[in-house]
Chain A
Amino acid sequence: MLRRLLALIAGRQGVCSYDELARELGVSQPLVEQLVADLLRSGCLRMAVDECVVEGCTGCPLRTSCSLPGGVRLWELTDKGRRWLAQPQGSASHP
Chain B
Amino acid sequence: MTASGVSGATLRVALAGSPNTGKSTVFNFLTGLSQHVGNWPGKTVECKTGTCQRGDTVFFFVDLPGSYSLTANSLEEEVARDFIIQEQPDVVAVVVDASSLERNLYLVCELLELGVPLVVILNMMDIADGRGLRVDPQALESALGVPVVPTVAARGEGVSELLDAVRAVGFGEARALAPPPPTSAAVQALVERLDGMVPSDLAIPYPRRWALVKLLEGDRAIAGAVKKALSTNGWRGVNSFLRLHDDAILEIVGARYEWVAKTSQQVTHRLGKEKVSLGERADRILTHPVGGVLAFLGVVAAIFWAMFSLGTPVQERLDDWLVEGSAERLQSALEGAPDRLVSLLADGVIGGAGLVLTFVPILAILFLALALLEDLGYMARAAFVMDRFMHLIGLRGKSFLPLFLGFGCNVPAILGSRIVESRSARLTTILVAPLMPCAARMVVVALFTAAFFGRAAALVSWSMVTINLAVLALMALLLSRFVFRDEETGFVMELPRYHAPNWRTVLMATWQRVRAFVVLAGTAILAVSLVVWALSSFPGNQIEDSVLGMVGRGLEPVGRLLGLDWQMIVALMTSFVAKENTIATLGVVLGEGGGDVDLSTQLTQIMVPAAAVAFIAVQMLFIPCVASVAAIRRETQSWRWTGFAIGYMVVISFAVGIIIYQVARLMGWGV
Chain A positions within 8 Å of B, measured between CB atoms, are: 1-4, 6, 8-19, 21, 25-28, 30-31, 33-36, 38, 41-42, 45, 48-50, 53, 62-77, 83-84, 87, 89-95
Q: What are the residues of chain B within 8 A of A49 when measuring CB–CB?
A: 398, 401, 419
Q: Within the complex, what minimum Cβ distance (angstroms) separates A34 from chain B?
A: 6
User: Are A90 and B489 within 8 A (Cβ)?
Assistant: no
Question: Is B398 a contact of A12 with CB atoms below 8 Å?
Answer: no
Stretch touching chain A among B158-166, B375-383, B426-434? B375-383
- Known A2-B253, A90-B184; contact A74-B405, beta-carbon cutoff 8 A: no
Q: Which 4 A-B pairs have the closest CB atoms?
A: A12-B490, A71-B496, A69-B379, A65-B409
Whether A69 touches B374, Cβ cut-off 8 Å, given contacts A13-B488, A17-B495, is yes
Which one of B245, B250, B287 has the greatest number of beta carbons of chain A within 10 Å?
B250
**Contact (Cβ within 8 A) A48 B407:** no
CB-nearest residue of chain A relative to B18? A34
Bound together, the chains give a CA A72 to CA B419 distance in angstroms of: 14
Mark interface residues in B391-427 (1 if CB within 8 Å of A CB, else 0).
1000011101100110111011001101100000000
Query: Would A65 and B493 count as touching, CB distance under 8 A?
Result: no
- B100, A15: Cβ atoms under 8 Å? no
Report how far A10 CA is from B488 CA in the complex, Å: 9
14 CB contacts below 8 A, A to B, read A1-B254, A2-B257, A9-B492, A13-B391, A13-B490, A15-B387, A26-B261, A28-B102, A41-B73, A64-B513, A66-B409, A83-B247, A92-B185, A92-B189
Contact, CB under 8 Å: B102 / A67: no
Residue in A25, A31, A72 whose CB lies within 8 Å of B383: A72
A-B CB pair tally, cutoff 8 Å: 208
- Which B residues lie at the A interface, using CB under 8 A? 68, 73, 100, 102-103, 106, 184-187, 189-190, 218, 244-251, 253-255, 257-258, 260-261, 264, 280, 283, 287, 370, 374-375, 377, 379-380, 382-384, 387-388, 390-391, 396-398, 400-401, 404-405, 407-409, 411-412, 415-416, 418-419, 439, 488-496, 512-513, 515-516
Knowing that A15-B490, A49-B401, A68-B416 touch, tell me 14 more A-B residue pairs with CB under 8 angstroms: A6-B250, A14-B397, A19-B280, A34-B106, A48-B398, A48-B419, A66-B405, A67-B404, A67-B408, A71-B495, A74-B401, A74-B492, A84-B246, A94-B245
Q: Closest chain A residue to B516 by CB distance?
A: A64
Are B491 and A1 in touch, CB under 8 angstroms? no
Taking a contact as CB atoms under 8 Å apart, the answer to whether B106 and A72 are in contact is no
Q: Which of A1, A33, A36, A67 has the largest count of B CB atoms less than 10 A from its CB?
A: A67
Q: Are A38 and B383 in contact, CB atoms less than 8 angstroms apart? A: no
Q: Establish whether residues A91 and B103, one from each chain, have CB atoms under 8 Å apart when the complex forms.
A: no
Q: B254: nearest residue on chain A (CB-CB)?
A: A2
Contact of B401 (CB < 8 Å), options: A35, A72, A87, A89: A72
A92 touches B187 (CB 8 A): yes
Residues A77 and B489 in contact in the complex (CB < 8 Å), given A31-B102, A31-B260, A91-B187: yes
Contact B494 A72 (CB under 8 A): yes
B490 touches A90 (CB 8 A): no
The distance from the CB of B250 to the nearest CB of chain A, in whole angstroms, is: 5
Choose one: A15, A30, A95; the contact of B384 (CB below 8 Å).
Answer: A15
Interchain CB contact under 8 A, B103 and A28:
yes
- Asked if A75 and B379 make an inter-chain contact with CB atoms under 8 angstroms apart, the answer reads no
Contact (A1, B261) CB under 8 Å given A13-B391, A27-B102, A65-B439: yes
User: Distance in Å from the Cβ of B283 to the closest Cβ of chain A?
Assistant: 7
Complex formed: what's the CA distance from A88 to B602 in Å? Answer: 74
